[in-house]
Amino acid sequence: DPLPVFVKLAPDLAPYDVGGLIAACQDTGISGLIATNTTTAREYLHPSELHLANQAGGLSGAPLTRKALRMVESVAAQTDLPIMGVGGIMTPADAQAFFDAGASLVQIYTGFIYNGLALVRGINTLTYPDRAR
């Protein structure tokens, strides 16, 4: 069996580009898709975070959650490939929302930095109550 290869889709892609990329991935035998990555957009910043608007680089964490979730929903509507939901998963409820939107698995980073193993335990409790510790 070949090793799995996933392609990461940026949250800032135009909807018409996403469909073309998904089709290309399916045609080449990609194993799955990662939705998403950091965003260059700043429209979801909380008023207390507006000082981040002029900083260079991608934005991650809670300001990305809604945008990433919409991308997962869009990708799931266009393919049966496994989807790794990424972006702004700060709580177990966020992870569940990604699963409900069509993600097969999730990746956490910023939420883990801020909430540590409690986030992992919470996600496990929510998704696999019999395995939670």
Residue 108 lies in a domain: yes
- Structural domain includes residue 133: no
| Residue at 64 is within a domain | yes
Can you say whether residue 33 is alpha, beta or left, with left for phi > 0 and alpha for psi between -120 and 50 degrees?
Answer: beta
22 in a structural domain: yes
- Domain span at residue 31 reads 6-127
Q: How far apart are CA 50 and CA 19, in angstroms?
A: 32
Q: Which residues contact 91 (CB under 8 A, 6 or more apart)?
A: 111, 115, 119, 122
State what percent of residues in the chain have pLDDT above 90.
62
Which residues lie below 8 Å from residue 24, measured CB to CB, with a gap of 6+?
Answer: none
Classify residue 1: in a domain, yes or no. Answer: no
Q: What is the mean predicted confidence (pLDDT) over 92-116?
A: 95
CATH number at residue 72: 3.20.20.70
What pTM does this model have? 0.85
**Strands, E assignment, the chain:** 6-9, 32-35, 83-86, 105-107
Number of domains in the chain: 1
Q: Could you tell me if residue 54 is inside a domain? A: yes
Regarding beta strands 105-107 and 32-35, do their DSSP bridges make them parallel or antiparallel, or are they unpaired?
unpaired
Residue 63 lies inside a defined structural domain of this protein = yes
How does pLDDT run across 20-45, given as a tens digit for each residue?
999 999 999 999 999 988 766 656 65
Residue 132 inside a domain? The answer is: no
